[in-house]
Structure 1
Amino acid sequence: MHTRTAAATLAAALLLTACSPAGTTDAKPKPRPTISKQQQFLTAVHAADFQSWTDQGPADSELTDYPRQWCDALGAGHTVEWVLNSDGGDLYPIGEEWGTKIVDARELLVLAVKAYCPKLRGQVVEELRSSGDY
């Protein structure tokens, strides 16, 4: 009888070992790579393919200061129009060798908000929609 019990226990142990993948007993989920806000923003910008920049567009380094400034201004209660207006925040995305059409500037701002200050995205999109600009 002891032989049968020992054999059954051994068989059960072997069956459990054979059915479970090797090394999964202490396996922890692999951490997902963290994508920086800047990389998320730039990836979205590259995917957007703005018409304004068909001939000449900004270098990534020329764009990276805008998102934080936009988020700071929007977080302080300013409107999108104020942020992009030269009489307001004067944060219109333009360089010495490149320009941005207003429709693209608004979309660029939305992409920045999505990456850098997503809690403000609803406010920004609502403002743009109510003015017919989005």
Structure 2
Amino acid sequence: MKKSIIYPLLMVSLFISSPSWAHSLWLNIDNYQPKVGQAVQIEIGWGHKFPKDEIMKEGFLNQVYALDQKGIKISLKQVSQTEFEFIPRAEGVYTILANIHPGFLTKTTEGYKLGPKKGLKNVVSCFRFDIRAKAIINAG
């Protein structure tokens, strides 16, 4: 009896569930297995629709860089506000990392405000965010 009810409910929930979209911050990499010396194009994705949704506001992005196998930080060439280029100089695995400036988002009865709840009226909720993304590249 119990199984006969659970199975149809599971099937109904499967068919009416909405599709999942990428959320917040991600990295679009054009080549995850470049040759040594071959340029890799990196684009910052932001929003809710993969592969690209919204253009990130100026100054929102904090850092974009690479780490080699030894944990040494490597700067990337910035091509535009949301595009970067990385050229691996040796064989190995590299991690590309990005983050935005952490902060607070407060919901009030008038809408959302970027910042802490201090000094705001009619606060419904508030949370701190620290959003990061990473991608792995295998050069060689």
Please give the TM-score of this superposition, normalised by the length of structure 2.
Answer: 0.22
Task: Considering fraction of residues, name the structure with more strand.
Answer: 2
Please give the TM-score of this superposition, normalised by the length of structure 1.
Answer: 0.22
Task: Considering fraction of residues, name the structure with more helix.
Answer: 1
Whichever of the two has the greater Rg, that structure is: 1
